[in-house]
A and B are shown apart, each in its own frame.
Chain A
Amino acid sequence: MANSTETTKKAAERPESAERTRGGQFFRPNCDIVERADELLVLADVPGAQGDRIDVKFEDGTLSIHAPIDRRQAPETEYLLCEYAVGDYWRTFQVSEAVDASKISAEYANGVLTLHLPKAESLKPRKIAVTSA
């Protein structure tokens, strides 16, 4: 019984694995993910982000995308129509260990972030030639 209580307390005190260090409002960017034979392709819509400020991390099998967005409204203006809010983009994905982390590459153009996550060599499809005697 004592063991059971201790275990529960420890579990309760354990911080969330993906807890954010920054406060404020975040938005989840829409993403397309395509699995190809040799890589995993992630396309994320992050309009308004500046390419050099986008932070992409891959750690312990977790891919995280953080794109800070500056406020665009000038102080002397007022909204007539507002269909979208402005704020930082943040999203994480749990990726299996099949990705070669050292070869991950990223491109950014026209508000779309493209991530190439190459599969580890051992998982790439391989054709085995059968030799007949």
Chain B
Amino acid sequence: MSVRLSVISQVEQVAKEQKKKLAPLSDDLVLLDSGLDSLCFAIIVARLEDALGIDPFSTAEDAGFPVTLGDLIRFYEEAGK
């Protein structure tokens, strides 16, 4: 599964588990408006570490979190290179 598909499938899976109403997914969707909260993103990061073997947040130099879904996907794609 590509990095993009892994990220999207985790977003959908966690939304389902946490009973969150997910906004339609697109690259310019602002994560804060996605319907998921920060704990959901913590779970997504943990699951993606298991699935992809990487945690770009622990290796990143700055403390920012990606703004849009597209940013999040690119963040993982870059880290996986």
A and B interact physically:
no
Chain A interface residues toward B at CB < 8 A: none
